[in-house]
């Protein structure tokens, strides 16, 4: 078994660099440690205490010669655990949560997207960078030793590094730059026939086969976090689970691309160059194939707090226009929004379900804000499958403007809010009309109660 000292030897790093750039003559002369904050790497941090392997992130000052030119590069060596150890760690979290998750999880532990993390990230970094990934200096995989490494640039002189607790720092310029550059990545990898690289890749069959897990994750979230998952929200996601075959029948007809699948401020930062802000996304260990809207749904759920919910659809449209300009495949804004809504259902069932499992054991301060923003996503996109199954929901929806547009219907929204304030001592708002409209839409959930009828399958 390789030790930390083995990974940090000049000869080991030199071999990594030479294999990654065989056209260059590279000699590593010396290696010195650098301080590094790797607290944002949740999976590695949680797994490190449950393995005897040398894993983690190591900051390094590497003195080298490249094609005869002496230089010192500040780099980070990421030594990854094999995915099965991450799966085992997550399984222990499921056991700590109790029933029903503890009983259900073991049968699906290798199918949650974490079992191949060591292969996924290295594969993503072998693709042309195209400005979105960090500069990679070397990759290493030894299956016999179960040793997997990434040697990458030390991210410094960047902005919004690990900004998970500061969504307000993501300005309009940051968000639009991120969405534009994300569209470039997605366009480059867009396909109608995604490669089946791993057995846990999202698909209609995979999502339906894991139905017991989605139900158990949702029950766990409701039991441990009732304030975040009241009856109305639980009902929405239970409806989504019941309609997985329906909405995935639509998703499988849509183009898919290589998504990051963990795109949020824990794994992103911005570089500033002659062309302005450049998004840099790292930690690609969950990368997979899905509709491109998926990454956008996740990113906006993390960076839009309540005071900016009203901007969500505008940002989604900005991304659609950028992707359509590059591919010519997204002229229909309504169809694009449908895909976003169905991608949001997958994000809520899978990734948020897993987050809430870990949150029950070791709370994440950012997560309640993200959950609220996510359910606002559903309120705005209104995936059609969520409209089935409840006369109560239908009656509440009947009070909504048909297209939820911000026009004269805002007068009705403000009247509704005025009535709500009189009945619940709600303080007078200081928000703009658009923000008022979104608060009103959010009340769609608040006005649902537990008197809900069984879910029925929609006709179309």
Tell me the pLDDT tens digit for each residue of 134-181.
Answer: 999 999 999 999 999 999 999 999 999 999 999 999 999 999 999 999
Look at phi and psi of residue 231 and say left if phi exceeds 0, alpha if psi is from -120 to 50, else beta: alpha
**Mean pLDDT calculated for residue range 81-103:** 97
Helices (H), 211-327: 211-224, 231-242, 244-251, 293-303, 312-327
Taking residue 363's Cβ as centre, other Cβ atoms within 10 Å add up to 11
pLDDT tens digits along 262-287: 999 999 999 998 989 999 999 999 99
Q: By the 8 A CB rule, do 122 and 141 touch?
A: yes
- Which is more confidently placed, 388 or 157? 157
Task: Report the mean per-residue pLDDT for the chain.
Answer: 86
pLDDT bin (cut points 50, 70, 90) of residue 50 is low
Distance CA 204, CA 351 (A): 17
| The pLDDT value given to residue 196 | 82
| The pLDDT value given to residue 405 | 32
The dihedral over CA atoms of 37, 39, 40, 41, expressed in degrees to the nearest 10, equals 100
Q: By the 8 A CB rule, do 458 and 245 touch?
A: no
Identify whether 100 is preceded by a cis peptide bond (ω within 30 of 0).
Answer: yes
Is the confidence at residue 353, as pLDDT, over 80? yes
| The pLDDT value given to residue 51 | 60
pLDDT tens digits along 405-450: 323 232 233 333 333 333 333 333 344 444 444 443 444 444 443 3
| The pLDDT value given to residue 352 | 98
| The pLDDT value given to residue 387 | 82
Helices 333-349 and 231-242: angle between axes, nearest 10 degrees: 110
Distance CA 316, CA 325 (A): 14
pLDDT tens digits along 286-303: 999 999 999 999 999 999
**Mean pLDDT calculated for residue range 193-210:** 93
Is the confidence at residue 400, as pLDDT, over 70? no
DSSP per-residue codes, 49-98: TT-SS--EEEEEEEEEEETTEEEEEEEEEEEEPPHHHHHHHHHHHHHHH-
């Amino acid at each position: 078994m390789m030790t930390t000292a083995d990974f940090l030897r000049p000869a080991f790093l030199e071999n990594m660099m030479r294999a990654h750039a065989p056209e260059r003559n590279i000699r590593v002369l010396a290696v010195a440690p650098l301080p590094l904050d790797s607290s944002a790497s949740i999976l590695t941090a949680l797994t490190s205490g449950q393995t005897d392997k040398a894993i983690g992130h190591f900051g390094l000052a590497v003195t080298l010669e490249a094609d005869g030119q002496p230089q010192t590069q500040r780099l980070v060596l990421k030594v990854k655990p094999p995915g099965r150890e991450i799966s085992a760690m997550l399984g222990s979290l499921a056991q700590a949560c109790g029933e029903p998750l503890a009983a259900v999880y073991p049968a699906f532990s290798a199918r949650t997207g974490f079992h191949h993390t060591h292969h996924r990230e290295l594969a993503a970094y072998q693709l042309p960078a195209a400005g979105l990934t960090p500069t990679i200096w070397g990759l290493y995989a030894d299956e016999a030793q179960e040793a997997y490494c990434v040697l990458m640039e030390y991210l410094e002189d960047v902005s919004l590094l690990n900004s998970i607790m500061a969504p307000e720092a993501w300005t309009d310029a940051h968000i639009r730059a991120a969405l534009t550059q994300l569209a470039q990545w997605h366009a480059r990898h867009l396909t109608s026939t995604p490669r089946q690289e791993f057995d846990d890749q999202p698909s209609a069959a995979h999502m339906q086969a894991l139905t017991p897990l989605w139900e158990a994750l949702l029950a766990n979230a409701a039991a441990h976090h009732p304030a975040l998952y009241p009856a109305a929200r639980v009902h929405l996601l239970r409806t989504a689970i019941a309609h997985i075959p329906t909405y995935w029948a639509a998703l499988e007809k849509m183009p898919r691309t290589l998504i990051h699948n963990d795109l949020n401020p824990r794994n992103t930062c911005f570089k500033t160059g002659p062309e302005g802000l450049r998004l840099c996304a790292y930690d690609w260990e969950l990368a997979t194939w899905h509709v491109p809207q998926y990454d956008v749904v996740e990113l906006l759920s993390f960076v839009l707090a309540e005071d900016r919910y009203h901007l969500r659809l505008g940002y989604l449209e900005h991304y659609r226009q950028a992707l359509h300009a590059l591919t010519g495949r997204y002229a229909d804004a309504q169809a694009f929004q449908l895909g976003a809504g169905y991608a949001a259902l997958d994000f809520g069932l899978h990734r948020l379900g897993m987050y809430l499992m870990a949150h029950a054991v070791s709370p994440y301060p950012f997560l309640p804000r993200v959950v609220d923003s996510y359910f606002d996503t559903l309120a705005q996109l209104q995936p059609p499958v969520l409209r089935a199954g409840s006369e109560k929901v239908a009656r509440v929806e009947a009070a909504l403007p048909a297209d939820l547009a911000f026009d004269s219907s805002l007068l009705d929204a403000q009247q509704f809010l005025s009535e709500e304030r009189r009945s619940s001592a709600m303080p007078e708002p200081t928000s703009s009309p658009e923000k008022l409209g979104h608060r009103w839409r959010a009340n769609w959930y608040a006005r649902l109660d537990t008197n809900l009828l069984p879910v029925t399958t929609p006709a179309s």
